[in-house]
Amino acid sequence: MQVLVTGGVGYIGSHTVVSLLEAGHSVIVVDNLVNSKIETLDKIKQITNKDIIFYQVDVTDESAVENIFTNHSIDGIIHFAGLKAVSESVERPLTYYYNNLVSTLVLVKVCQKYNVNRFVFSSSATVYGDNKVPFVESMNLFPTTNPYGETKAISERILIDITKANPAFSLAILRYFNPVGAHESGLIGEAPNGIPNNLMPYVTQVAKGKLNKLRVFGNDYPTTDGTGVRDFIHVTDLAEGHVAALDYLTAGTHIYNLGTGEGTSVLELIHAFEVANEIKVPYEIVERRPGDIASCYADTTKAKQELGWVAKRDIIEMCRDAWRFEKNYKE
């Protein structure tokens, strides 16, 4: 297939481009580089020894997107492009709603005009809100706590309505749990701008000495050791989940959790990182972070049964690969 990957220079997108190329697909990447670096494309070429067509285009720009569809015959789309920083979304809701919703609307509109009927959308476990774990795709969704989460919940509803009205349209909504780790080569990985918000990049930067100490947000949750529990998933497993979804797609809406199904607490993750890499991660317990929930992990039955996909890499591999990338990474 010829696959258009929006946001393909970013963290999850770049790993998915590698998996698509390795599975024999050809790839067109569209990215405005607002949160990524062009050098990543060279790294992907180094890993795969394959070429990629690249457009530096903002996906909210309808005529620029349409131009790509006139230049190429596209079989399917994986739509990663979006802004994802939760706290920034609270400060700049208009930017988040505009970017994340308009990009999706533009893409679907152009898809319809050019008869492209396979669409894979990046959603998030955040749409479950504070539901009962494990989260199952059929659950009623609880409200999210921030504009970023809302953009995912609203996009899901828009895409489902459009799919209902267009019987030929095939939609996969993929709800990611907590993607971590990096490609085993150490060439591509997660490189957030500024001080990281998420746990694993914070841990790797503490290990590297860039940050002094990790703050563990709360140890009084109703979990095994009192710290938050999450379903960390290796980004390469996540990437492979996209290839499986794209291959499987049939008309209609298909929603899948992409997680491991295993909950790991913050303290367990720190411990796994120390064991995997033989390095200490100094930390202190501080207050809970507003908006956090106690536990979040997936029921992965549906993806296994329908896509034949399961996450294969364990927490030690996630920690080892995250650290290998951080050690190699130069700003």
Which of the residues are catalytic?
148
**Residues 75, 1 contacting (CB under 8 angstroms):** yes
**Residues 94, 22 contacting (CB under 8 angstroms):** no
d(CA 16, CA 21): 9
d(CA 16, CA 51): 15
Q: Do β-strands 118-124 and 26-30 pair in parallel, antiparallel, or remain unpaired? A: unpaired
Tokens of 308: 């034949």
**124 binds ligand UD1 per the rule CB under 6 A:** yes
**292 binds ligand UD1 per the rule CB under 6 A:** yes
Radius of gyration over alpha carbons of the chain, in Å?
19
- Compute CA distances 214 → 195, 198, 206, 305, whole Å: 12, 11, 7, 38
Number of chain positions touching ligand UD1 (CB under 6 A): 21
Site pattern 6..35 for ligand NAD (x: CB under 6 A): xx-xxxxx-----------------xxxxx
User: Looking at beta carbons only, is 197 or 253 nearer to ligand UD1?
Assistant: 197
Single out the residue of 289, 302, 310, 317 in contact with ligand UD1 (rule: CB under 6 A): 289
Site pattern 177..196 for ligand NAD (x: CB under 6 A): --x-----------------
**Beta carbon of residue 119, minimum distance to ligand UD1 (angstroms, whole number):** 21
User: Looking at beta carbons only, is 145 or 185 nearer to ligand UD1?
Assistant: 145
Single out the residue of 202, 273, 323, 325 in contact with ligand UD1 (rule: CB under 6 A): 202
Residue 217: name the closest of 179, 258, 150, 269 by CA.
269
Single out the residue of 19, 104, 124, 223 in contact with ligand NAD (rule: CB under 6 A): 124
**Beta carbon of residue 73, minimum distance to ligand UD1 (angstroms, whole number):** 34
Site pattern 73..112 for ligand NAD (x: CB under 6 A): -------xxxxx--------------x---x---------
Residue 152: name the closest of 89, 77, 100 by CA.
100
Single out the residue of 54, 97, 142, 217 in contact with ligand UD1 (rule: CB under 6 A): 217
Q: From the CB of residue 276, how many other CB atoms can be counted at a distance below 10 Å? A: 18
Tokens of 45: 């070429």
Query: Angle, to 10 degrees, between the axis of helix 199-208 and the axis of helix 315-328?
Result: 50
Site residues (vs ligand UD1, CB under 6 A): 84, 86, 124, 126, 149, 178, 197-199, 202, 214-217, 228, 230, 266, 289, 291-292, 296
